[in-house]
Structure 1
C-alpha cells in the first residue's frame, strides 16, 4: 500500500483557474495581456534576476561536425557565465559572399547532448538553411554540452548525452530562478550579439527539437526579435505531459507556472509571427490523449492569430512517427517567413 501525493496535484490542476488564461478579443486586449504575462513569466522564471554584461565574444577554433565546418565561439551572458556555441556560415566561395547580409537561424539542442548533437541529428535541415543563406548558430544550454556540471562531466558517450538540469534547478530554485529562465536569458544575449554582426540582415529565426523546441517556444514567446519559430516534439498541455509525467526533465518546471498559463498561452505570445509546430502521432510525451493534447493547446494559440487575421498560422505538421524531428515543410516555412518580413518592412 502506498500513500501518494501526485494524484492530488492532478486534481488541483484540473480545477485550477489560470491567472493569465487567454481571453483577448481585440489587438489592444492582446497587447495588454501579453505585457502582463511576460512580466509575470520574467518574475516566476527568475529571468529578472539575471545580470546583464557585454558579450565579450571569443573565437576559439574551427571543428568539422558531420562534414560541416563549425566555428567554436564563446560569449558571456552574465558577468561570470559563459555560453559556447557553434557558428556555421553559408558557402564562402559563392560570389560576393562578404558583401551579402544574412538571416540568422538559432538551433537549440534537445535534452540529450549539446551543440554537436544538434548538428548530427539535424544535418539535412542545417544544410538547407546554409544553402538558403542563413548563418546557423547552435548553442549549449546551461547544464548541457560543454556546460555540464559535476558529475555529468566527461567524454564517455553516456555522460555526453546527459545534462545537469536537475542539479541546476535544485540550486537555482532557492534563489528564485529556473533552468528555462536562464536558458531564455542566454538566448536573448546571444541574439544581441548575432543581430549586431555586420553580416546580419536583421532576420532571426529559431528552430528546435524536444528540449530545443522548448527553448524555441519560450525564447520566441518572450522576445519579439524572433521573426519565425519552429518547434518539434514540444507543444502540448502541461497536465498530461508534465504533471502526469513528472519524470520529464527538470528544466520544464517553474514555480507558479501551473497557476499562471498553459502551453497555448505561450504560443499566443508568439502571435502574429510565423509559427510552425511539428508533432509525432506516436510521441509518448504528448500525453495519454495523444495529439488531442497538442490540438487543444493550438486552439488556444489560434485565437491570438485570428485577432491579427493571421489564419495561416500556426502551421501544424503531423508525422506518423514518435518523438523525432522529421522536418517536412520547414524549409518552405522559413523562406516564406523571410518573404513576409521583407514585405512588412517595405510596407512600413
Structure 2
C-alpha cells in the first residue's frame, strides 16, 4: 500500500481525495519536523548567503580596472531599467524668503510628463559670480524630505529635535558656508508623499506601483535628481564644473548611485549608507522601496558604485554604532575601495570619516572636504 498521498478530485463526487504522492498516510496527525522552514525571511537569508558577485571591481590590475569602468555604465543602466522621457524643466519660482546669509527660494520644475518636483534653492547673498553648488538629499527619517535638510521645521518641535540629534540640516549649513544648494523631495517624501499609512512606508507602496509598470522607484528618483542637476547646473550663479552632492541614509543611497551614473557630480559625501547590500539587507527592517533595484544582489555592490566614481573625490561617513550599515563591513569595503583609488593614483581623493555615534550625519570632515574639492 502506498504510504504517501496527494490530493486529487473524485470523479464521482467532485471532492478532494488522496492519491499516491508525497503526503504521508498518517497526515495530518503527524507533527511537522523542526527542520522545516516556514519563514520567507529565513529563506531570503539562506538565498542571500549564496549570492556571488557577477563582475566585481578588479582591485589589483590597472588595465582590468579601466576595462571594468568602461563596462560599468551599461551594467548600471541595465539594472535601472526603463526611464521616463525628458521634458523641459519649466522652472518656476514660487516664493522667496530671506534667511540671513542666504535667500531661500521655493522652486518647482518638471521631471517627466505629468510630474513635477518641488525644491528649496538656497542662494548666498554674497554670491555675485558663478561658483560652487551642492545637491543635498534628505534621509528617510521622519519623511519630511527637503525641509529637514534646509532647517525648515515649521514650528514642529519633534522635527527640530530630530534635526538637532541627527545634524541633518546640512543643506542649511552648506548655504551658510557660501554654497548654492538645491534640495529636492524624493518621490513619496515631503510634498511628494501621497500618503503614509500606519505601519507602512509610502515608498514601499510606490515601489509596488512602479514595479507594476515595469520600473524601479530608485531609478525614477535618480532620474528626478539628474533633472535637478540640469536645473542646478543651468543657474547663472553656479559653475557646472564645481557641483557636488551629499546625502544621509537614503540620501546617501541616491548620492552614491547618482555620482556613479552622472559625472557632473564632481565630489560626493555619502553618509550613513556605505557598506554592502549583502550586509545591510540582512537587517530585517532596514530596506525600503526607495533603496532597491530588481535583481541587484550579486550584480553591483556598494564598492562597485564607489569604484565607478573614482578617481573623483569621495568622502564616506560611518558611525561606529550605526546598526543599519555595520561599521566592520564599511571598513572592509573601504579598504577595497582604497586600493581602487590607489591604482588610479588618486589616494588623496578618498576619505573615510569614522565617528563614535549611530545613524546620523557628522559633517566634521565633510564640509572642509567640499571646500577643498569644489
Q: TM-score range by the shorter chain?
A: 0.7 to 0.9
- Among 120, 125, 144, the residue aligned to 1:113: 144
Show the counterpart of 1:187: 225
- CA shift for structure 1 position 127: 4.7
Residues 45 and 176 in structure 1, CA contact (< 8 A), matched pair in contact too: no
Q: 1:143, 1:164 within 8 Å by CA — same for their partners in 2?
A: yes
Per-residue deviation, 1:67:
9.5
Q: Which one of 26, 29, 45 corresponds to residue 64 of structure 2?
A: 29
What count of residue pairs does the alignment treat as equivalent? 322
Please show how residues 243-262 of structure 1 align to structure 2 within 5 Å: 243-262=282-301
Q: Write out aligned runs for 1:221-300 (5 A).
A: 221-286=260-325, 290-300=326-336
Change (3 A) 1:66 1:12: farther
Q: Does 1:87 align with 2:125?
A: no
Instruction: Give 1 or 2: higher helix fraction.
Output: 1
C-alpha deviation, 1:131, in angstroms: 4.2
Could you say which structure has the larger radius of gyration? 2
Mapped pair 1:133 → 2:169: no
Gaps of 5+ in 2: 1-33, 152-162
RMSD: 2.5
Paired residue for 1:42?
Answer: 77
TM-score normalised over the length of structure 1: 0.85
Report if aligned partners of 2:122, 2:182 keep a CA contact under 8 Å in 1. yes
Once structures 1 and 2 are overlaid, which stretch shifts more, 16-25 or 27-36? Answer: 27-36
Aligned to 1:152: 196
CA distance in 2, matches of 1:37, 1:11: 28
Which residue matches 1:15?
50
Q: How does 1:153-172 map to 2 (within 5 A)?
A: 164-172=202-210
User: For residues 18-58 of structure 1, what are the alpha-carbon distances to aligned partners after superposition, in whole Å with 9 as ceiling and x for unaligned?
Assistant: 22211165555334323423222222222x42211111111
Alpha-carbon distance in structure 1 between the residues aligned to 2:310 and 2:65 = 10
Cα distance in structure 1, aligned partners of 2:205 and 2:101:
34
Displacement of 1:163 after TM fit? 5.5
- Structure 1: give runs of 5+ residues left out of the alignment: 339-348
Distance 2:99 2:47 in 1: 47
Residue matched to 2:40: 5
1:103 Cα offset (Å): 1.2
Aligned CA distance change for structure 1 residues 186 and 334 (closer, same or farther; 3 Å): same
Q: Secondary structure at the match of 1:259?
A: coil
Kept in 2: contact 1:114–1:141 (CA 8 A): yes
DSSP-derived class of the 1:312 partner: helix
Q: Provide the rounded CA distance (Å) in 1 between the counterparts of 2:39 and 2:88.
A: 48
